[in-house]
Structure 1
Amino acid sequence: MPAGAQDKNGEKDAAARERIELDLFHEKRGDILVTASRVETSINLDNYTGSASVLTPGQLENRQVRDIAEALRDVPGVAVSGVAGQTQVRLRGSEANHVLVLVDGIEVSDPFAGEFDLTTLQAEPGARVEVLRGPQSALYGPDAIGGVIAYQSASGRDLGGFSARIEGGTQGTANGAARYGASGAGWDAALSAVVVSTDGQPNARGGSRDIGRDSYTVSAQGGVDLAPGLSVRAVGRYILTEGRFNNSDNDPASPTFGFIVDSPEVRYDNEAVYALIGARYEALDGAWTHDLSAQVADIARDTFGPAGRTNGSEGDRLKASYVTAYAFDTGEASHTLTFAADWERERFRNTDPSGFAFTGRRQIENTGLVGEYRLETTRFDFSAALRHDINDRFADETTYRIGAGYDLTDTTRLRAAAASGIKNPGFFELFGFVDGRFIGNADLRPEKSEGWEVGIDQRLFAQRVTVSATYFDSELEGEIFTTFPPPTFVATPGNRDTVSTQQGVEVALSAAIGRAFTLNAAYSHIDSEEDGTTEVRRPEDIASAALTWSAPGDAASATLVVRHNGAALDDAFIDPSFVPVRVVLDDYTLVNLNARVRIAEGIEAFGRIDNLLDERYEQVFSFVSPGRSAVIGIEARF
Structure 2
Amino acid sequence: MGKKLKSCGVAIAALGWCTPILAQDLAVERSDRAEDPEVLVTASRTDRSVALEDYTGSASIISAQDLVDRQVRDIGDVLRDVPGVAVSSVAGQTQIRLRGFEANHVLVLVDGIEVSDPFAGEFDIGTLQAEIGSRVEVLRGPQSALYGNDAIGGVVAYESASGRDLNGFAARIEGGTDDTVNGSARVGLVGGQWDAALSATVVSTDGQPNARGGTRDIGRDSYTASGKGAVEFAPGFELRAAGRFIRTEGDFNDSDFDPTAPTFGLVIDSPGTRFKNDAIYALIGARASVLDDRWSHDLSAQIADISRDSFGPFGRTSGSEGDRLKASYVSAFAIDGRHNLTFAADWERERFRNDDPFGFASGTRQEIENVGLVGEYRFSGERLDIAAAVRHDINDRFADETTFRVGAGFDVTASTRLRASAGSGIKNPGFFELFGFFDGQFIGNEDLTPEKSNSWEVGIDQQLANGAVTLSATYFDSELENEIFTTFPPPDFIATPANRDTESTQRGVEVSASARLGGGFSLDAAYSFLDAEEDGIEEVRRPDNIASAAVSWTHPRDAASATLVVRHNGEAEDLAFTDPSFIPLRVTLDDYTLVNLNARVQLTDRIDAFARVENIFDETFEQVFSFVSPGRTATAGLSASF
Q: Matched residue of 1:600: which SS?
A: coil
Across the aligned residues of Structure 1 and Structure 2, the Cα RMSD in angstroms comes to: 1.2
Cα deviation digits, residues 537-589 of structure 1 (max 9, x gap): 00000000000000011111000000000000000011111110000000000
Q: Matched residue of 1:309: which SS?
A: strand
Q: Give the CA deviation at 1:28.
A: 7.8
| Residue 453 of structure 2, aligned match among 449, 453, 457 | 449
Distance 1:252 1:486 in 2: 18
Distance 1:353 1:441 in 2: 22
The residue aligned with 1:488 is 492
| Paired residues of 1:22 and 1:550 also in contact (CA < 8 A) | no
Task: List gaps (5 residues or longer) in structure 2.
Answer: 1-27
Moved more, 27-36 or 371-380: 27-36
Distance 2:168 2:504 in 1: 50
Q: Give the CA deviation at 1:134.
A: 0.4
Q: Matched residue of 2:67: which SS?
A: helix
Distance 1:150 1:320 in 2: 19
| Residue 340 of structure 1, aligned match among 338, 344, 347 | 344
> TM-score normalised to the size of structure 2?
0.95
The residue aligned with 2:302 is 295
Distance 1:278 1:179 in 2: 23
Q: Give the CA deviation at 1:257.
A: 0.5
Cα deviation digits, residues 55-104 of structure 1 (max 9, x gap): 00000100000000000000000000000000000000000000000000
Distance 1:30 1:568 in 2: 36
Distance 1:562 1:84 in 2: 23
Q: CA distance change for structure 1 residues 182 and 396 in 2, over 3 Å: closer, same or farther?
A: same
| Paired residues of 2:35 and 2:65 also in contact (CA < 8 A) | no
Distance 1:175 1:22 in 2: 19
Establish whether residue 462 from structure 1 lines up as the match of residue 469 from structure 2: no
Q: Give the CA deviation at 1:515.
A: 3.6
The residue aligned with 2:291 is 284
Establish whether residue 518 from structure 1 lines up as the match of residue 525 from structure 2: no
Q: CA distance change for structure 1 residues 313 and 403 in 2, over 3 Å: closer, same or farther?
A: same
Q: Give the CA deviation at 1:184.
A: 1.2
| Paired residues of 1:25 and 1:56 also in contact (CA < 8 A) | no
The residue aligned with 1:619 is 623
Q: Which amino acid aligns with 1:445?
A: T
The residue aligned with 1:505 is 509
The residue aligned with 1:193 is 200
Distance 1:347 1:508 in 2: 40
The residue aligned with 1:18 is none
Establish whether residue 144 from structure 1 lines up as the match of residue 151 from structure 2: yes
| Residue 324 of structure 1, aligned match among 331, 339, 342 | 331
The residue aligned with 1:155 is 162
Distance 1:98 1:283 in 2: 37
Q: Matched residue of 2:467: which SS?
A: coil
| Paired residues of 1:134 and 1:145 also in contact (CA < 8 A) | yes
Q: Give the CA deviation at 1:462.
A: 1.2
The residue aligned with 1:125 is 132
Q: CA distance change for structure 1 residues 352 and 167 in 2, over 3 Å: closer, same or farther?
A: same
Q: Give the CA deviation at 1:435.
A: 4.7
The residue aligned with 1:312 is 319
Q: Which amino acid aligns with 1:598?
A: Q
Distance 2:75 2:83 in 1: 15
Distance 2:519 2:451 in 1: 49
The residue aligned with 1:266 is 273
The residue aligned with 1:427 is 431
Cα deviation digits, residues 385-442 of structure 1 (max 9, x gap): 0000000000000000000000000000000000000000000110111252111100
| Paired residues of 1:122 and 1:194 also in contact (CA < 8 A) | yes
Q: Give the CA deviation at 1:27.
A: 5.0
Moved more, 265-274 or 357-366: 357-366
Distance 2:519 2:378 in 1: 37
| Misfit runs of 4+, over 6 Å | 21-26
> TM-score normalised to the size of structure 1?
0.95
Establish whether residue 406 from structure 1 lines up as the match of residue 407 from structure 2: no
Q: Matched residue of 2:388: which SS?
A: strand
Q: Matched residue of 1:232: which SS?
A: strand
Distance 1:406 1:24 in 2: 36
Task: List gaps (5 residues or longer) in structure 1.
Answer: 1-20
| Residue 245 of structure 1, aligned match among 243, 249, 252 | 252
Q: Give the CA deviation at 1:25.
A: 8.7
Q: Give the CA deviation at 1:272.
A: 0.3
What is the number of residues matched between the two proteins?
615
The residue aligned with 1:527 is 531
Q: Give the CA deviation at 1:328.
A: 1.3
Q: Give the CA deviation at 1:360.
A: 1.4
| Paired residues of 1:24 and 1:58 also in contact (CA < 8 A) | no
Within 5 Å, give how 1:533-544 maps onto structure 2: 533-544=537-548
Establish whether residue 391 from structure 1 lines up as the match of residue 398 from structure 2: no
